[in-house]
Structure 1
Amino acid sequence: MAALVAPRPLLISNTDKDRIFPLDGVVDVYTKTRRIYELYGKLNHIGLQITEGPHKDTQELRIHAFHWFNHFLKGEKPLIDTTAVKMFEPKQLKVFDKLPSDEINTEIQESFTKLAEPAAVPVSADEWSQQKRQWMAALKSRSFRGWPDEPGELDVKLAFEAESNGISFAALDFTSQNHIRLRVYLAKRDGVANQDLDLIVLNVLDEEDWDEFLAMMQVGFADQLKGEHLPKPNVEEFNSHAKMFKAFKWGMAYVAPRGIGPTAWDQSKRKQTQHRRRFNLLGQTQDGMRVWDVRRAIQALRVVPDVNSVPLWIQSERAMAGVALYASLFEPSITRLDLHYLPTSHREGPIFLNVQRFLDIPQAIAMATERSKVRIYQNGTKGWSFAQDAAKKLDWPEKQLQVRDMTPRKER
């Protein structure tokens, strides 16, 4: 990209202790770009400035930029006798009171690359099988390439096990990848052996769900959760779950992928943007690595004694439902997916590298529907015609995919 500026003047500036853009990378960009300027015979149009400092717009960087602007914009080379102070407040630089209705800036990134054409519904099992293989290969090589080459040991350790109000509650710590330890919780009726459970539901939590989980479970297990920032207890929800466990031999598991709950980073908007950028610099996305975390949570549950034969459901909400959806495509024997308010397109999340170049969420739903029962809960029923039509065309079981309208009846 830097070479595209050639032969126009280009100053590459950075500090020597920038942890986001390391010095050797900056010098490498300069060296390679300099060759292009040399071909143009314009070596005097490219410059490199390195000053001491961290990832910050320092005064030293600005003063050198002033000199560069004076030279190439004004044709002057005066001494810089003005310090790099802020000359205007941000509001003084504001151009519009409100953005024009025809502005394209907020979505300009969508024009940078060609998105996949709407997928055609397969007309045969062979065509579907071929299309599915292509999509799965693309996901592995283009969207989830940042996953570890070697999964490594799960190293599952029991963190605690307790009982309250007839509920058995345990926590298992596991390694998602090197230096990433996560925790999966398992609740069930006290006294019911794992092999006697009718099913286990793995709840994949986003930040809102995590707070609700803590509010519910602290009612009976405040001591076990005392290391967390506990919200106001939700006694009603805890009692509701206690009744459920008493009535059914179900297990409820909970996992918060990286960046959620116990592993949450600074939640300010600016810091969240920086975290997402750092994943991108590693050839990953935050959501893409969360898919890996969910896969590892599934694997961790299955090494619990006598759990491997118990049917496993996965449940999640909002963009995290998309994370759960994709995790299910890479793990065997997922009996059912319950996805609440799942976005109908990756434009609303989750964010994966390159994914819309070859598929979107409705196609992922179709792949999941072939493997598992899928229940989608949302307002209205639109958005899933590709998966519904594929299910009919390929003669999948009639109730394999169901879209349930959660709109209040009086609003329908």
Structure 2
Amino acid sequence: MTPQSEAQKITLIGAVLDAVLGALKIVIGSIAHSSALVADGIHSLSDLLTDFMVIVILKYSHQEPDKEHPWGHARFETLGTIILGGLLILVAGAIAYDSLHILISGTQLLIPEWPTLLVAAISVLAKEAIFRYTLAVGKKLKSDLLIANAWHSRTDALSSVIVFVGIAGAMSGFAWLDAVAAILVGFIVAKIGIELSWKCVQELLDTALPEEDVQAYTDEIMQVEGILSVHSFKSRRMASHILLEVHLQIAPYLSASEGHFIGDMAVYRLRARFPDIKHVIFHIDTYDDEAENYCQVLPNRVEISRCLFAILDRYDATELKIHRLGLHYHTDAIEIDLQLNQQDTVAYDLPHLQQQLNTELSKHAWFGHLNLLVRHIDSNNQVLK
């Protein structure tokens, strides 16, 4: 059974139970004079509405990414949870208002009859059972929407406990306890609705994950050989998925391909240890770029090449062909690896040329050091190591 099918199955079971209990509570509560049981029945029918909403949202939230939603559809689940929380708050307000109006108006309160007590007891047992089942499936599938719906069922079970106590008190001669029980049910429902909605609002605002979680991710990344530091760590949640963006600092002399391989290794380790991590964007740094944007003050490859050719031209060395120009950027300086072909350097004193190049380039504030390298090639045009 697929996760989506399993989620829909438990939600359908809950929907049938909510329909039966809701109708039973309203009918028995109306006939046997319990406003608390009627309020609880309305709560159960609100569960029925949200059950169907959960089924529809689960269908969309588990779809694969597409052109319009490249990050996937998990936000549908978040949106659905907010709507669910809002409905809970509305239901709570209606329940509390009606019961409070009965108390204030001084209306003659009728004593509930014994069938209301029986229905309340049945509701407690049934809703507690569906709560535990739904919560287990929600945790297994890591679905906030299913977990939210499970707690919605738990509020019905808790409210039925309060209704049971209120009815029992009213039948013992304290008629006002039935209305008070209904008001307490409203407060419980409102509290759950506010908590669910606030959690999802934080998610939509891209609130960062707890510091201890980020530290655990950082510790795992630092286990990868070649990573010197981790900075600019950004985290957020999308329903049951975790999305991360991080800068990884490596040694400045590593190649771009090796740096990318090290980054991929970090992602592999993270996703292997933390399955909830859905996507990781990493940026490879050869220095800590948090303090300042050094690309505004350091020259690029074209500017450095132009400067080198100008120096070679002044020393009548324009026939030297640069095989490879390696640039190593540091926070405040650039080191240069200048590689030449051996056959082009026969007429030159290379140590002297290197000294001249370093002297000329040292006039620039951005310059660190230049290394002159020679590429040796044999008679078969093969590079010698």
TM-score interval, normalised by the smaller of the two chains? under 0.3
Higher-helix-fraction structure: 2
- Give the TM-score taking structure 2 as reference length: 0.19
Larger radius of gyration: 2
Higher-strand-fraction structure: 1
